[in-house]
């Protein structure tokens, strides 16, 4: 009774005070949590310091090109594509779990193939080759017109697109999976004996 008597008036006397005390507590706790999260994230950021992978197309060799104008404009060709990539991260390694490489003219997929399994160590430069085959791909419109004119893929702008699923590992303890999209636009294929201009790619991690 004595306690109830003492407490009841107190609470009634100053309800606002109690309320604001709780508010102060809650906001301090919230601030502390935010502070810890920011601290944690910036610690990881500073120790891992992620840098974007760099990609370039080193070569696109076309052979076996054939445009069949008799049967609904079908194209056949072999592509041998050489890619190079830099991992300039000092502490992050990448393991490619799957890689899908495709060659497109505008929005039309000419060929696609799986890339090699890769392990990309920290601070390393790496090259790999992917061979693709277009087998009777039907073409239309301006793409077909351009190919008819030259009757080769020489000088035709193609896009090389790579979609990969990778596991990245930082400092032995942090690892995760992610998707990488590599887009190499305005690539000019060449045939045997002709020069190729190295083309840089956009990378989205």
Ligand X SMILES: *[C@@H]1O[C@H](CO)[C@@H](O)[C@H](O)[C@H]1NC(C)=O
* Residues near ligand X, by CB under 6 A: 54-56, 63-64, 68, 70, 78, 80, 84-86, 100, 102, 109, 112-114, 125, 129, 131, 133
Residue 125 beta carbon to ligand X: minimum distance, rounded to whole angstroms: 5
> Measured from the CB atom, is 62 or 170 closer to ligand X?
62
> Measured from the CB atom, is 24 or 64 closer to ligand X?
64
> Measured from the CB atom, is 25 or 125 closer to ligand X?
125
> Measured from the CB atom, is 47 or 88 closer to ligand X?
88
> Measured from the CB atom, is 44 or 165 closer to ligand X?
165
Q: Furthest-apart CA pair in the chain: how many Å?
A: 104
Residue 163 beta carbon to ligand X: minimum distance, rounded to whole angstroms: 6
Residue 168 beta carbon to ligand X: minimum distance, rounded to whole angstroms: 18
Residue 175 beta carbon to ligand X: minimum distance, rounded to whole angstroms: 24
Residue 67 beta carbon to ligand X: minimum distance, rounded to whole angstroms: 8
> Measured from the CB atom, is 170 or 201 closer to ligand X?
201
Contacts of 202 (CB under 8 A, 6+ apart): 182, 183, 184, 185
Residue 156 beta carbon to ligand X: minimum distance, rounded to whole angstroms: 18
107 phi, psi to nearest 5 deg = -100, 5
Q: Which residues of 2-22 are buried (b: 16+ CB within 10 A; e: fewer)?
A: eeeeeeeeeeeeeeeeeeeee
Pick the closest to residue 96 from 127, 124, 123, 118 (CA basis): 118
């Amino acid at each position: 009774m004595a306690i109830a008597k003492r407490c009841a008036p107190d609470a009634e006397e100053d309800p606002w005070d109690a309320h604001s005390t709780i508010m102060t507590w809650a906001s301090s706790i919230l601030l502390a949590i935010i502070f810890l999260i920011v601290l944690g994230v910036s610690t990881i950021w500073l120790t891992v310091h992620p840098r974007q992978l760099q990609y370039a197309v080193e070569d696109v060799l076309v052979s076996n090109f054939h445009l069949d104008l008799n049967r609904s404009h079908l194209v056949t060709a072999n592509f041998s594509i050489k890619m190079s990539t830099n991992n300039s991260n000092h502490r992050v390694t990448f393991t490619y779990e799957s890689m899908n490489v495709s060659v497109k003219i505008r929005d039309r997929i000419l060929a696609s193939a799986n890339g090699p399994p890769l392990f990309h160590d920290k601070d390393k430069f790496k090259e790999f080759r992917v061979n693709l085959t277009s087998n009777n791909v039907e073409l239309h419109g301006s793409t077909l017109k351009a190919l008819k004119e030259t009757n080769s893929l020489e000088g035709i702008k193609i896009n090389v697109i790579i979609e990969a699923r990778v596991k990245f590992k930082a400092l032995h303890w942090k690892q995760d999976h992610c998707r990488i999209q590599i887009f190499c636009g305005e690539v000019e294929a060449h045939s045997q004996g002709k020069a190729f201009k190295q083309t840089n790619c956009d990378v989205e991690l």
